[in-house]
Structure 1
């Protein structure tokens, strides 16, 4: 086999490996996207247990999918699984520290668990993340004040 034939063979093998890898990643992305879409549809249908299972599968396949984490936490909250939802939202705030929804959901979960000081801290963080004054920011301020007023002092 001549030098040119070896180079051609090697180049063909490298291109084949790259195309195989690319095909795998495309297939994996499409499959994960389909699972996520099914989870969203189940969530909209209020089948929260089935939605939970789908979002867990998405996260298993794609660990960095923060939207799946948010939906997973929401699905858990809808099933009143607060002890499971709280760490999901907490992890989301750590992974995505500018995600307002993560802080809002974590604050909600903590309020429902009567962990009011921690809930207030997360709601304040959400309020701080709003770039400009907004109705949502004002609602958060009002909610924080209401929680403070209703929290017994030790």
Structure 2
């Protein structure tokens, strides 16, 4: 019948293993993607508690997705869980220090905690990042916010 040589068996095993891994990771990605979309939909429906749960599930499957951490932080902010939101935003900054949106969200959380000095320093960092990333319009918007905060402190 068939004369299987050891090299054929190894090759067949490698192909089957590769296909199995591909199917597994595709399935995992599909589930994660569906959970993420569910979280986004719940957030848009202003169901922040359930959105939080969905985003936490996504993070448990893929903890390095910065966008999910930001959305989780936003969901927490909407529920007045400012300390937890601050942790999410800070985690993104620690992992991706050039992500301007994380600084902007963190500064908002710091303002809600009445930590104006830290909020201002965070906004200044965001502004400087915008300038370094050649986003002058966004940097100017941040400057306007900084000026308003300065006027309110006067």
Q: Same fold (TM over 0.5)?
A: yes
Matched, 1:48 2:34: no
Deviation at 1:4, TM superposition (A): 5.4
Q: Report the secondary structure of 2:5's partner residue.
A: helix
Write the distance in 2 (CA, Å) between the matches of 1:95 and 1:148: 30
Output aligned runs, 1:1-40, within 5 Å.
5-40=5-40
Q: Report the secondary structure of 2:136's partner residue.
A: coil
Write the distance in 1 (CA, Å) between the matches of 2:3 and 2:93: 56
Write the distance in 2 (CA, Å) between the matches of 1:140 and 1:9: 63
Root mean square deviation, CA, Å: 1.7
Structure 1 window deviating more from structure 2 (50-59 vs 121-130): it is 121-130
Deviation at 1:93, TM superposition (A): 0.9
Deviation at 1:151, TM superposition (A): 3.6
Deviation at 1:146, TM superposition (A): 2.7
Output aligned runs, 1:63-102, within 5 Å.
63-102=63-102
Instruction: Select the residue among 127, 150, 153 that pairs with 1:148.
Output: 150
- TM-score, normalised to structure 2, is 0.91
- TM-score, normalised to structure 1, is 0.91
Match of 1:106 in 2: 106
Deviation at 1:147, TM superposition (A): 2.2
Gapped regions of structure 1 (runs ≥ 5) = none
Deviation at 1:121, TM superposition (A): 1.1
